[in-house]
Amino acid sequence: MMDRAIRALGRIWDAIPVHPIRAKLEVTASVRNRLSTARRVSVAPAPILARSAKVFAMGSCFAVEIRKALAKAGYDVYPKYRNIKFDPDSQQPGNLPQRDDVTHYDTFTIRQEIERALARTHWSDESIWELRGRPYGARLRSARLYQDPLRRYVYAASLEQLRALRHSTDECIDQGLAAADVIIITLGLTECWQDKRTELYVCLGPESEQDERFDRMRFHASTFADNLDNIKKTVAAIRSVYPAKKIVVTVSPVRLHRTWTGEDIIVANSMSKATLRAAAGELCRSDPGVLYWPSFELSTLSNVWKSDALHIRDNVVRHIVHSFLQASVQPEQPVHINVLSRNAERTAQI
């Protein structure tokens, strides 16, 4: 019933007429300070990206789309999750190899992953869950199932296989963080779940109160102070090891799929995005060395949604990434990228 309702909402949203003026990014030394009918977001140029730069993107599922779009633009992107070796009959690293969606939706999971990677450590086996049932997202058909709850949809048929898969993923992230020149962090949501036993934050919460994992977790609706503290400490941790790396923060425009707050989903989504945007803004005001990129703002100016009414259309993501390149690529290395298809005037008016 819920899925049918979401698809129906998507069809209604798609039927809304799109404004004939495409939303654009305007790179200018003096940003606009008055609202106009022209759907533009203005930013000052910030040439932090050499054409040979290696880019590491971590965070919500929007980070997956950023990596994909940057790779199509010719950039070397990390982490290279598709290079992880695994046995598909006994190990499941998310939706690999079809999609490299090892995601970190909230600032708690981003911070703990970055801090682990910088220390080049592994989490203990205590944080691995042995399951009786078969949760949503698990595709393995083994009689017993083990889960790495600190990453999305990561399962194995034995503790040893899960540990090996976790360590391979650790190494992939560690190497990517070390290799990158630019680090992009995408902030997704504020609703978090913490493992009561280890006090580590898990990537995804339970499906329902009947989920066997429900009693092992506690819910936390993170605040502005929580998120600001997390991203400040994430930036500080990166600089303590890699002081020369450039850092970009952006807020994912992808909507919240469900809420545990007891509020309406639209209200909860607005609160989540407002909290993250305010935290990112405060970080960048207090630390001019961190660049804020307005992905969220570019996506609020028109109909940008896929039919699920949650995710951003591929051509919109390409537009956002191309806009980032316009403002960020070093001037002696011009960007040449075909970002929109021939019928983009109708489908990519953002």
Element (H, E) at 40: strand 40-43
Element (H, E) at 154: strand 154-156
CB 177, CB 51: distance < 8 Å: no
Helix (H, G, I), strand (E, B) or coil at 261: coil
CATH of the domain at 189: 3.40.50.1110
Tokens representing 151 are: 């990453």
- Nearest C-alpha neighbor of 248 from the set 2, 8, 115, 62: 62
d(CA 172, CA 155): 17
d(CA 298, CA 315): 13
**Digits of tens for pLDDT over the chain (350 positions)?**
444 544 444 443 344 333 333 566 677 777 777 766 667 777 888 888 888 999 999 998 888 888 988 998 899 999 999 999 999 999 999 888 888 888 899 999 999 999 999 999 999 999 999 998 877 778 888 878 999 999 989 999 999 999 999 999 999 999 999 999 999 999 999 999 999 999 999 998 998 899 999 999 999 999 999 999 999 999 999 999 999 999 999 999 888 888 999 999 999 999 999 999 999 999 999 999 999 998 888 887 767 777 876 787 887 777 777 777 877 877 654 444 333 333 333 333 33
Domain residue limits at 127? 2-30+37-347
Please classify residue 217 by burial: count the beta carbons closer than 10 Å to its beta carbon, then call 0-12 exposed, 13-18 middle and 19+ buried: buried
**Structural domain tally of the chain?**
1
d(CA 3, CA 269): 18
Give the DSSP letter string of 288-327: TTEEEE-HHHHTSSS--B-TTSSSBPHHHHHHHHHHHHHH
- Nearest C-alpha neighbor of 281 from the set 225, 228, 222: 228
Residues 6+ apart with CB under 8 A from 211: 135
Confidence (pTM): 0.84
Q: Where does 191-264 have alpha helices with state H?
A: 224-241
23-305-300 Cα angle (round to 5): 40
CB 247, CB 289: distance < 8 Å: yes
